[in-house]
A and B are shown apart, each in its own frame.
Chain A
Amino acid sequence: DSGVTQTPKHLITATGQRVTLRCSPRSGDLSVYWYQQSLDQGLQFLIQYYNGEERAKGNILERFSAQQFPDLHSELNLSSLELGDSALYFCASSPYEGATYEQYFGPGTRLTVT
């Protein structure tokens, strides 16, 4: 158990809908990272927040957005969902801002868009 929690574990929704994925980092960790893992695109870095501020952006679509709240939990919002958004979404946390430090991954949220 990494100490990172993600909810929900599974999510099934229809095309065009909007969903919110939630991540609670390990106690004391200030950085949160979001990743998408799909069969065709592999593991892709989406975005990083550190202490409430966006720090790095990867291959995140404009339909997706994220934020980190004062209590350090983070939410990833996915809107206008398409079939291709079906994937496993991981968050990871780290005590520090720099990406060279170990990241602790949550168990993931499996999103299925029908």
Chain B
Amino acid sequence: GNSVTQMEGPVTLSEEAFLTINCTYTATGYPSLFWYVQYPGEGLQLLLKATKADDKGSNKGFEATYRKETTSFHLEKGSVQVSDSAVYFCALTHTGNQFYFGTGTSLTVIP
């Protein structure tokens, strides 16, 4: 079946550090892949997405590349800020409009 596995948190980084949050998926065919972010006390917001292999999604300095060969969609940012502190969810959708989310990775950025 379809599933998403993302790295366990919590992750704590100093401001301006490099961020990687790993995400791998299991799905038949070619799912669409997403990163959503949840700030404290709020609902989820779409951060970026990629709908086909080798696509790179990017937004607000975050990037992720859809790697079919490694079934991965790792989230990266070159220099994190305190305002990036949030929970990050990797997700996929496939035929039938069902969504599958990872367990979420909590990121705290300290000044």
Contacts and interface: CB of A to CB of B under 8 A. Distances in A.
Given A42-B104, A43-B104, A99 B98 contact: yes
Interface residues of A, number: 25
Contacts of A44: 101
Interface in A99-114: 99-100, 102-103, 105-108
B93 interface: yes
Interface string A69-112: 00000000000000000000010100001111011011110000
A98 B43 contact: no
Interface string B57-78: 0000000000000000000000
B51 A56 contact: no
Contacts of B103: 42
B29 interface: no
Interface string B89-108: 10001001111111110000
Closest 10 CB pairs of A and B: A105-B43, A56-B97, A99-B97, A99-B93, A45-B99, A43-B101, A100-B32, A105-B44, A102-B46, A42-B103
Given A55-B97, A105-B44, A108-B43, 15 more contacts: A2-B45, A42-B102, A42-B104, A43-B44, A43-B104, A44-B101, A45-B98, A45-B101, A92-B43, A100-B49, A102-B46, A103-B44, A105-B45, A107-B41, A107-B43
